[in-house]
Amino acid sequence: MKLGIVGLPNVGKSTLFNALTSAKVDAENYPFCTIEPNVGIVPVPDERLNKLAHLMKPEKITPATVEFVDIAGLVKGASKGEGLGNKFLSHIREVEAIVHVVRCFEDENVTHVEGKIDPVRDIEIITLELMLADLDIVDKRLSKIEKMLKSDKSYEKEINILKEIKNTIEKELPLKNLNLNEEELNIIKGLNLLSLKPVLYVCNVSEDDLIKGDENSYVKEVKEYAKKENSSVMVISAKIESEIAQLDKSEKETFLEELNIKESGLDKLIKVSYDLLGLMSFLTAGPKEVRAWTIKKATKAPQAAGKVHSDMERGFIRAEVINYKDLLECEGYTRAKEKGLIRSEGKDYVMQDGDVVVFRFNV
Positions that interact with ligand GDP (CB under 6 A): 7, 9-15, 105, 107, 110, 204, 206, 237-239
Minimum distance, C-beta of residue 240 to ligand GDP, in the bound complex (Å): 7
Helix H, strand E, coil C: the string for the chain is: CEEEEECCCCCCHHHHHHHHHHCCCCCCCCCCEEEECCEEEEECCCHHHHHHHHHHCCCEEECCEEEEEECCCCCCCHHHCCCCCHHHHHHHHCCCEEEEEEECCCCCCCCCCCCCCCHHHHHHHHHHHHHHHHHHHHHHHHHHHHHHCCCCHHHHHHHHHHHHHHHHHHCCCCHHHHCCCHHHHHHCHHHCCHHHCCEEEEEECCHHHHHHCCCCHHHHHHHHHHHHCCCEEEEECHHHHHHHCCCCHHHHHHHHHHHCCCCCHHHHHHHHHHHHCCEEEEEEECCCEEEEEEEECCCEHHHHHHHHCHHHHHCEEEEEEEEHHHHHHCCCHHHHHHCCCCEEECCCCECCCCEEEEEEECC
Minimum distance, C-beta of residue 187 to ligand GDP, in the bound complex (Å): 36
* Closer to ligand GDP by Cβ: residue 58 or 265: 265
Judge whether 10 is annotated as a binding position. yes
Judge whether 231 is annotated as a binding position. no
Judge whether 21 is annotated as a binding position. no
Minimum distance, C-beta of residue 118 to ligand GDP, in the bound complex (Å): 16
Minimum distance, C-beta of residue 249 to ligand GDP, in the bound complex (Å): 23
* Closer to ligand GDP by Cβ: residue 216 or 237: 237
Residue 129: CB atoms within 10 A of its CB come to: 25
* Closer to ligand GDP by Cβ: residue 204 or 294: 204
Judge whether 15 is annotated as a binding position. yes
Using alpha carbons only, give the angle 57, 344, 334 rounded to the nearest 5 degrees.
35
* Closer to ligand GDP by Cβ: residue 109 or 260: 109
* Closer to ligand GDP by Cβ: residue 217 or 334: 217
**What contacts 139, CB < 8 A, 6 or more positions away?**
166
* Closer to ligand GDP by Cβ: residue 21 or 237: 237
> Rounded to 10 degrees, what is the CA torsion of 33, 36, 39, 41?
-20
Minimum distance, C-beta of residue 98 to ligand GDP, in the bound complex (Å): 14
Minimum distance, C-beta of residue 280 to ligand GDP, in the bound complex (Å): 31
Distances (CA, A) of 287 to 197, 304, 312, 335, 336: 40, 21, 20, 16, 16
Judge whether 192 is annotated as a binding position. no
Minimum distance, C-beta of residue 172 to ligand GDP, in the bound complex (Å): 24
Judge whether 299 is annotated as a binding position. no
Decide if 7 contacts 229 (C-beta within 8 A).
no
* Closer to ligand GDP by Cβ: residue 202 or 277: 202
* Closer to ligand GDP by Cβ: residue 40 or 58: 40
Minimum distance, C-beta of residue 133 to ligand GDP, in the bound complex (Å): 19
Q: Which residues are annotated as a binding site for ATP?
A: 10-15
Q: Which residues are annotated as a binding site?
A: 10-15
